[in-house]
A and B are shown apart, each in its own frame.
Chain A
């Protein structure tokens, strides 16, 4: 055998190895989700029977039971409301800051960046503890808005860094050209910059939504009557039957699948620059 064929042989083998590893890793991610789907789409008896079938009976009774279970619909609504508010607040507050960081040199810029970055070194869900007291004094306790404020603290640093990287990606010359053509600063921003950054902003908004949708600790500490779905699930873990937990788990997972699919193009761009 010549060295050339040995080399291609080796190449081929390492290609197969690469593919096999990749497929195994895909299975590692997907199989657990599949098993949750199997459990959710089985009847209540099947869920607690043994041995288990690896193929669901496609029974909707379980998921319907969960959705009609007392408090679930309300918790679902609360989760969406909190996540929606978090999304609006974090982008509304974060995007101007990101724009300022990308366009201006000014005193205190470094200090602000440190403030944003330092939030990462803190276990943010713990904020719920002192805020619980603060909220009782201000009447924000057990409200979706109060919780949205806490979740915004979680999402805001990301929003600032992501929008900073988005605005940095757009040359300032575009804006300057608009100014010379008679646009005011605001007009230039709305007509030139906005259309360019809108998809990226939407992606980071979705990211903020997911952060809030998934948060458990603060939600469980701060809401009692107005529970979110995660708070509802964690507080009923002890007493609720298995089939209810699994249906709840799947309801939590599905939006995540869709959201990650929607922002997949932006994930790496967002993180690449946001972390420098």
Chain B
């Protein structure tokens, strides 16, 4: 055997797998979204846009991402900074902070349902302190904003861990000397964080933001558990077209929309947080 072929042999299974189960299906879904029996068409997108729920679900998805991701980034940064500052019991805190990493979005939705449902813990708490006389319906169609809030909380709770892990790992890569030098020159804790840590953390921040924003556009089970169809989102609509209406072409068109915003935001973060090659550590 020629040893020069060895790396290709080792890579072959993974490449073949990704070609068959990643590249090819995405080509298929694009073809399905843009064609009918006669050839190229935009009719599936037309059908999709004509559904009155499309616009709402599109904006719900975007608004959820806008509400969740920035807050989550701040929370993750704060947690990462805390964890790196703590000396005693660091491991146990880290474990607790990363627990949600292993929890599925569906389970997270159910957990927050326990808090927000009518006989749930939030109502009990409000009742105990005397804010309400009887349990109120929190997750009803009359108050979509509470469902929105519940989804934001559940997403904050569940998905901050993934950013935390990336950021903590990223902070570990920053040489301590930079921070020490800034301290010698009299920079305060906050100044050091903003002017030294954050810029050096840019690559990790970029990864975390891309990963998290794409996941935010895929929000599905949390919403399904907390709001049913009262708060429509793109992924839920995709599921509905595929499963209930059995119209795979419209589902494919919706998939294209999700794909487009995901790629759009990825490119945005790649540009906005670009680190020049010579500035990398």
Interface residues of A (CB under 8 A from B): 18, 21-22, 25-26, 28-30, 32-33, 35-36, 38-39, 47-52, 54, 92-94, 96-97, 99-101, 103-104, 106, 108-109, 112, 115-116, 119-127, 129-134, 149-150, 152-153, 156, 160, 185, 210, 213-217, 220-221, 230, 233-234, 237-238, 242, 245-246, 248-249, 252-253, 255-257, 259-261, 264, 267-269, 271-272, 275-276
Contacts and interface: CB of A to CB of B under 8 A. Distances in A.
A134 B25 contact: yes
A18 B210 contact: no
A32 B211 contact: no
Interface residues on B, range: 35 or more
Contact of B248 (A129, A248, A272): A129
Contacts of A36: 110-111, 114
B59 interface: no
Interface stretch (B37-45, B49-57, B179-187, B252-260): B252-260
Interface string B93-114: 1111111111111110011111
Contact of B114 (A35, A104, A153, A269): A35
Interface string B8-22: 101101110110011
Interface of A is mostly: helix
Contacts of A276: 173, 203
Interface string B228-267: 1000000100110011000010011001001100110010
A245 B139 CA distance: 16
A48 B26 CA distance: 45
B220 to A, nearest CB: 5
B102 A216 contact: no
Interface of B is mostly: helix
A29 B263 CA distance: 31
A221 B18 contact: no
The 4 closest A-B pairs by CB, nearest first: A214-B104, A256-B102, A249-B110, A272-B169
B197 interface: no
Contact of B82 (A18, A32, A109): A18
A93 B220 contact: no
Given A217-B235, A268-B165, A119 B18 contact: yes
A126 B259 contact: yes
Contacts of A54: 121, 124
B206 to A, nearest CB: 9
Contacts of B220: 125, 216-217
B140 interface: no
Given A106-B8, A121-B262, A252 B157 contact: no
B11 A245 contact: no
A226 to B, nearest CB: 16
5 contacts: A29-B100, A96-B13, A127-B22, A213-B104, A234-B225
A97 to B, nearest CB: 4
A96 B11 contact: yes
A22 B93 contact: yes
Contacts of A122: 22, 26, 214, 259, 262-263
A214 B161 CA distance: 15
A260 B102 contact: yes
A260 B101 contact: yes
B170 A112 contact: no
A237 B224 contact: yes
Interface string B75-86: 000110010011
A99 B93 CA distance: 33
Query: Which of A50, A152, A213, A217 counts the most B-chain CB atoms under 10 A from its CB?
Result: A217
B203 to A, nearest CB: 7
A93 B17 contact: yes
Contacts of B17: 93, 152-153, 156
Given A130-B26, A216-B106, A264-B98, A51 B124 contact: yes
A249 B107 contact: yes
A180 to B, nearest CB: 16
Given A100-B7, A264-B95, A268-B172, A32 B111 contact: yes
Contact of A234 (B97, B113, B224): B224
